[in-house]
């Protein structure tokens, strides 16, 4: 038979180039024995032959290549022209004859559904569902070719063009097959997901169903019954009022009919049918090896599957070893804890997993309690719940990092309380925790009660400097496998050493802050005493970095050419071009000084593969430019000094009030010590991250040298390709053991990372895929306000400036920064903002700590803040009660 037409039995999943995603799935299911109504596909060869007769299509494709997804008016005009042109083209004789022959073989008196099937459709990482047209109840030899031609033309609907442009699909490379399938005239029909598309739970089958044809449900014409099935049992039923249904007409086409009142609220499927359908869905899932989105219908008690495609919206799930009787494991996002939720390369993930100090069989090994999922690292925190004390305390501790995480863990522990009691004991867990935590606690108590807190910063700085030099020495003078092994060793020891040696420095400050807040409330009824004491902490390494960026802005102001160079944001040859600018030499001295201290930092810095500021200043220059635009000369230093004076004045007022109380001298003496500890030790909160980045700077330099060696040896084509490998795979390359399919492996990982970057990672998920978000309940906020976690007190109104990446930032005076997250690489923007809103974070995360120091009102933990708060809108940010209110939409000039 001609390849212009293929019957389902001649098609399998390898036929995608000829019949598109929908056609390949229907053929695959037919051959696997699933109940698929018979049909055939008009292939992409037929489509190419059809458009090949046109002299205009090449010009149309050139126009399409220039289209951007947002050019809606231009897309609409061009799409209409293409569709009209295709409608005017004749159907070539051989194609018409092949369609007619297949139609006769299936049955001339049958009705058919004619559906589009694109070659880029229903892929694991992108679904084109609904982008092209469908025609139902098509009858007769003349109607069928016309419906096929209209399907071909629908490849150029506005939504299809825009979708391909957005996802960077080549318009020429996406071809269209047309599925012609015998119609089923169902009593009920619907959609089934073999994993819950809302919660992500992989063991839950979710079924939507209504009477008549499924198009009523898909088009939103009717509400559908919802059934959820888990392990063969129905766990949820929601019976909707189904006012209407779509039915086929005998002469062709469809009609919408209002349902009789008794039928409207009847359960569309009986319980036995629900369980039977769910099992059929799981069989299809097992065949494909992936969760499926299935269109189904039922006629006279017989099931039919009319489509199945991968569910592309599910977040990837790691394979966590499970023991029968255990609760599902709970996985926590390390990126949310570190204020960097973007997807990372395999090298970066492996370094982080090697760093994690628990669950490691060997120093150089990746922790067995960590998993890579969707380009992010997740930590299995389930073993902690063996200890009842940690079940109570861990959510409270987590609240300092992210309130939504804390609520999610509490939700999990409530739901799985009985199962947690059955967790298998881990020998030595309690003793191991005490051995690890005990010395840290002991030293922290010593720092709280004894010694001069102001001297701690000098001791800590000396340690960090010594560790950085030691790391640099260990990684220099060696190359190849030996250097990669040493990077793994350094990473493997890093956090365990840092926890033991560094945490005792800031912990006394954190404890002192809690005690100050509690005692001020108890003795004075003062609930907010700590907020004023937070300002301008002396010696905070990240605050010092922000001040030095202000110094850079001031150093550039007198020199217009330097200011223009910074304002351009172009980091290419920036250092060289400074030499050509008037005042460039003077500015360069300040620039080099800054780089000596902070050149190893950058936004998203926990990803070791990201370019540092000393390599690429592209993310730093916009911050300097924003500072020049929104902050007056020297104002950053004056504000910092003013903050220190305000903190000192607040401390004196607090002590004076205490002295006037019974036992006032004793209370004031205790509070004075706590304030002194808080001011100097809390300032060290950012030092451990700085110490880590000093090491990461050396890791990255060593990795880049190894990558260049691999390129020079011809093992890799590009330096950046090396970061798509794990360090163990680097070792294999360095030892001359490259993978046989190295290029294919690299290309697949690049495609995976591109997909991962489009996903929103959950804060918490179980090993069954369920995403736990927790629920806030707060009554004291305006209606319609966006709820978050208050982390820095104060109320401010201003223009919302949404910034997704620091290099894109253009903050002006009086604007409120709306960001997905912030880490120290974002700090340069804080001086330019009057308030801060973040999608993730908690009381003790970076953005919150620095916002309090700068006196910026801040709210964190507002899911989707960067999309829900319009850029340019006037908003009110309440950092005391924890909400954001949109006052005036962007573009509205009302005062």
Residue 687 among the catalytic residues: no
Contact 809, 803 (CB under 8 A): yes
Residue 443 CB-density burial (10 A; 0-12 exposed, 13-18 middle, 19+ buried): middle
Q: Cα dist. 584→566, 570, 598, 624, 629 in Å?
A: 11, 15, 20, 15, 19
Residue 253: helix, strand or coil by DSSP?
Answer: coil
Taking CA 497 as the corner, what is the angle to CA 496 and CA 498, rounded to the nearest 5 degrees? 95
**309 closest CA partner among 29, 11, 113, 30:** 29
Q: Enumerate long-range contacts of 72-77, CB under 8 Å, 24 or more apart.
A: 72/158, 72/162, 75/158, 75/161, 75/162, 75/165, 76/158
d(CA 322, CA 331): 13
Residue 190 CB-density burial (10 A; 0-12 exposed, 13-18 middle, 19+ buried): buried
Q: Cα dist. 766→167, 299, 356, 393, 847 in Å?
A: 30, 38, 20, 20, 28
- Region of residue 451 (left: phi > 0; alpha: psi -120 to 50; beta: else): left
Q: Where are the alpha helices (DSSP H) in 477-579?
A: 481-502, 507-524, 529-533, 541-556, 560-567, 574-578
Q: Enumerate long-range contacts of 79-86, CB under 8 Å, 24 or more apart.
A: 79/156, 79/157, 79/158, 79/160, 79/161, 82/57, 82/153, 82/156, 83/153, 83/154, 83/156, 83/157, 85/54, 85/56, 85/57, 85/60, 86/50, 86/51, 86/54, 86/149, 86/152, 86/153, 86/156
d(CA 528, CA 520): 8
Q: Residue 222 gets which letter from DSSP? A: S
Contact 694, 468 (CB under 8 A): yes
Q: What is the largest CA-CA distance in the chain?
A: 104
d(CA 379, CA 46): 51
Q: Cα dist. 830→553, 624, 818 in Å?
A: 14, 11, 11
Contact 789, 841 (CB under 8 A): yes
Give Cα 875 to chain centroid, integer Å. Answer: 25
Query: Which listed residue (201, 531, 680, 846) is catalytic?
Result: 846
Q: Cα dist. 156→76, 88, 164, 496 in Å?
A: 9, 15, 10, 57
Give residues with Cβ within 8 angstroms of 437, minimum separation 6.
none
Contact 572, 551 (CB under 8 A): no
DSSP E strands in 381-460: the ranges are: none
d(CA 623, CA 617): 10
**Which residues pair with residue 298 across a beta bridge?**
188, 303
Q: Cα dist. 509→340, 690, 875 in Å?
A: 25, 18, 34
Give Cα 176 to chain centroid, integer Å. Answer: 32
Contact 797, 863 (CB under 8 A): no
d(CA 120, CA 170): 10
Strands 795-802 and 815-819: parallel
Contact 299, 187 (CB under 8 A): yes
d(CA 548, CA 592): 11
The backbone torsions φ and ψ at residue 505, rounded to the nearest 5 degrees and listed phi first, read -80, -55
d(CA 861, CA 882): 9
Q: Which residues are annotated as catalytic? A: 846
């Amino acid at each position: 038979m001609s390849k212009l037409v293929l019957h389902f039995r001649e098609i399998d999943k390898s036929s995608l180039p000829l019949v598109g995603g929908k056609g390949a799935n229907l053929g695959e299911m037919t051959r696997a024995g699933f109940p698929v109504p018979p049909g055939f596909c008009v292939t992409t060869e037929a489509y190419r032959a059809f458009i090949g007769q046109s002299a205009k299509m090449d010009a149309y494709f050139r126009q399409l290549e220039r289209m951007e997804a947002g050019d809606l008016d231009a897309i609409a005009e061009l799409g209409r022209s293409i569709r009209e042109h295709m409608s005017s083209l004749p159907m070539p004789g051989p194609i018409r004859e092949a369609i007619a022959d297949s139609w006769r073989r299936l049955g001339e008196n049958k009705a058919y559904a004619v559906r589009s099937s694109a070659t880029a459709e229903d892929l694991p990482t992108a679904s084109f569902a609904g982008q092209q047209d469908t025609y139902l109840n098509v009858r007769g030899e003349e109607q069928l070719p016309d419906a096929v031609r209209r399907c071909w033309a629908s490849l150029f609907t506005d939504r299809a063009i825009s979708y391909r442009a957005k996802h960077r699909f080549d318009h020429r490379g996406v071809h269209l097959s047309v599925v012609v399938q015998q119609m089923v005239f169902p009593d009920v029909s619907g959609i089934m997901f073999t994993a819950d598309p809302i919660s992500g739970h992989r063991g839950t089958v979710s079924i939507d169903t209504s009477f008549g044809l499924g198009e009523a449900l898909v088009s939103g014409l009717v509400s559908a019954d919802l059934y959820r099935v888990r392990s063969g049992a129905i766990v949820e039923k929601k019976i909707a009022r189904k006012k209407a249904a779509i039915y086929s007409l005998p002469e062709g086409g469809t009609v919408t009919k209002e349902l009789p009142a008794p039928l409207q609220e009847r359960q569309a499927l009986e319980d036995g049918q629900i369980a039977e359908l769910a099992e059929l869905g799981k069989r299809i899932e097992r065949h494909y090896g992936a969760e499926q989105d299935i269109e189904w219908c039922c006629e006279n008690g017989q099931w039919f599957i009319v489509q199945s495609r991968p569910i592309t919206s599910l977040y990837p799930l790691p394979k966590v070893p499970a023991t029968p009787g255990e609760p599902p494991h709970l996985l926590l996002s390390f990126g949310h804890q570190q204020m960097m939720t973007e997807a990372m390369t395999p090298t970066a993930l492996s370094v982080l997993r090697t760093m994690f100090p628990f669950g490691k069989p060997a120093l150089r090994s990746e922790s067995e309690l960590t998993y890579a999922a969707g380009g992010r690292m997740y930590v299995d925190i389930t073993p902690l719940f063996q200890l009842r004390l940690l079940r109570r305390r861990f959510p409270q501790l987590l609240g300092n990092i992210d309130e939504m995480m804390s609520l999610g863990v509490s939700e999990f522990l409530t739901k799985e309380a009985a199962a947690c009691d059955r967790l298998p004991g881990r020998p030595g867990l309690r003793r191991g925790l005490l051995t690890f935590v005990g010395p840290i606690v002991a030293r922290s108590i010593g720092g709280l009660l004894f010694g001069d807190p102001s001297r701690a910063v000098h001791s800590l700085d000396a340690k960090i400097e010594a560790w950085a030099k030691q790391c640099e020495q260990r990684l220099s003078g060696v190359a190849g496998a030996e250097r990669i092994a040493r990077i793994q060793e350094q990473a493997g020891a890093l956090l365990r050493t840092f926890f033991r040696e560094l945490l005792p420095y800031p912990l006394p400050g954190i404890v002192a802050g809690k005690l100050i807040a509690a005692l001020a409330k108890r003795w004075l009824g003062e609930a907010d005493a700590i907020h004023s004491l937070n300002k301008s902490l002396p010696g905070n390494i990240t605050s010092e970095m922000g001040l030095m960026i202000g110094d850079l802005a001031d150093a550039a102001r007198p020199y217009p050419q330097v200011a223009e160079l910074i304002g351009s944001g172009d980091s290419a040859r920036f250092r060289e071009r400074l030499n050509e600018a008037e005042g460039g030499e003077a500015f360069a001295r300040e620039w080099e000084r800054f780089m000596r201290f902070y050149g190893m930092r950058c936004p998203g810095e926990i990803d070791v593969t990201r370019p540092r500021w000393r390599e690429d200043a592209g993310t730093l220059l916009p911050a300097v430019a924003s500072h020049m635009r929104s902050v007056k000369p020297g104002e950053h230093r004056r504000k910092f000094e003013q903050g220190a004076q305000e903190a000192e004045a607040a401390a004196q007022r607090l002590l004076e009030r205490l002295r006037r109380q019974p036992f006032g001298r004793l209370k004031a003496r205790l509070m004075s010590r706590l304030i002194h500890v808080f001011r100097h030790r809390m300032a060290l909160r950012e030092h451990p991250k700085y110490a880590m980045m000093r090491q990461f700077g050396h890791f990255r330099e060593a990795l880049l040298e190894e990558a260049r060696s691999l390129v020079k040896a011809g093992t890799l084509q590009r330096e950046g390709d090396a970061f798509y490998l794990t360090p163990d795979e680097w070792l294999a390359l360095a030892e001359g053991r490259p993978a046989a399919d190295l290029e294919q492996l690299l290309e697949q990982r690049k495609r995976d990372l591109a997909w991962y970057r489009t996903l929103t990672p959950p804060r918490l998920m179980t090993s069954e895929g369920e995403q736990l978000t927790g629920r806030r309940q707060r009554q004291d906020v305006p209606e319609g306000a966006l709820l978050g976690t208050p982390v820095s007190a104060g109320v401010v109104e201003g223009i919302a400036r949404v910034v997704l990446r620091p290099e894109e930032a253009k903050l002006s005076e009086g604007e409120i920064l709306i960001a997905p997250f912030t880490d120290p690489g974002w700090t340069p923007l804080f001086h330019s903002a009057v308030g801060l809103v973040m999608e993730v974070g908690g009381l003790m995360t970076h953005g919150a700590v620095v916002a309090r120091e700068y006196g910026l009102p801040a709210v964190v933990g507002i899911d989707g803040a960067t999309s829900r708060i319009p850029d340019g809108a006037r908003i009110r940010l309440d950092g005391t009660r924890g909400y954001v209110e949109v006052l005036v939409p962007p573009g509205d000039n009302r005062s």
